Amino acid sequence: MDGAEDHAGALAAAPYALLFVHYGLPDQTGTALLQQARDQGLIHGAAQLLFTGKPSVEEMEDVKVLKKPLDMQDVVRQVHSIIGPPEGPGPPAASGSDRRRKTAEARAARARHGAKIELALYVTLPWPSSLRARANLKRVLTGVREGEVRITTCDLAKEPERAERDNVLFSPTLVKVWPEPKMWILGDLSEPEVLTDLLTLCGVSVAGPRPAP
């Protein structure tokens, strides 16, 4: 969904327990979208969260604003507090020794390839927001030396177990898988400075990305 009419139509078609909205939508802000939905009586008591990489935004009463990169553990806790935890038992927790061994093996494998950071982009294709995220990521990575960044694209619907390990609930989401700790950037990556700051933090030199067409 890209335009205000698409979002209004989806809200009118079914009730939602939670609205998780990106502030920088293509044709309006997330705040304007939520205010419009409230005025039209389309919220139906749903909880509302905004997320953004911008330093300051127009806020709304009773709407929490989360800043990117997100602490996805905190996001998952907040979502569960609103709509409840998932049904059924989760995957068995790995022992401390297993985690350390797997971390050491993964670190050694990445070191052999010379990568400084590993990213996973979770998408749902052919959704426009996922296509934009993939294109925006590619544009930023054109300014990075080859081999310094390892990137995997994951279909959220086809790889639910991996998404659960990475604490991914929504698409598109970019995950800094390694080095630890993990970090998450939600949305279509239309704010490239958030990604470039993340890469720089991991020692990756980023030249200016090519301008969007």
| pLDDT attached to residue 101 | 58
148, 153, 163, 151: which is closest to 205 by C-alpha?
148
190 and 125 assigned to the same domain? yes
Number of other CB atoms surrounding residue 73 within 10 Å = 12
Domain-terminating residue out of 43, 67, 91: 67
Q: If you search the block for the tokens 């090519």, which residue do you land on?
A: 210
| pLDDT attached to residue 1 | 46
Percent of the chain with pLDDT over 70: 80
Does 91 have pLDDT greater than 50? no
112 and 56 assigned to the same domain? no
- Mean pLDDT, the chain, integer: 81
Q: Is residue 178 part of a domain?
A: yes
Domain count, the chain: 2
Query: pLDDT tens digit string along 162-185?
Result: 988 898 888 899 999 999 888 999
CATH number, residue 118: 3.40.30.10
Instruction: Label residue 103 by pLDDT band (50, 70, 90).
Output: low
Instruction: Label residue 108 by pLDDT band (50, 70, 90).
Output: low
Between 24-33, 74-83, 169-178, the lowest mean confidence (pLDDT) is in 74-83
Task: Determine the average pLDDT of the residues in 181-197.
Answer: 90
Does 119 have pLDDT greater than 80? yes
Tokens matching residue 76: 């998952």
Domain-terminating residue out of 46, 67, 88: 67
Domain that includes residue 188, residue range = 102-201
Task: Determine the average pLDDT of the residues in 30-44.
Answer: 89
Task: Determine the average pLDDT of the residues in 186-193.
Answer: 89
In angstroms, the CA 59 to CA 131 distance is 28
| Better pLDDT: 55 or 158 | 158
136 and 62 assigned to the same domain? no
Domain-terminating residue out of 67, 93, 110: 67
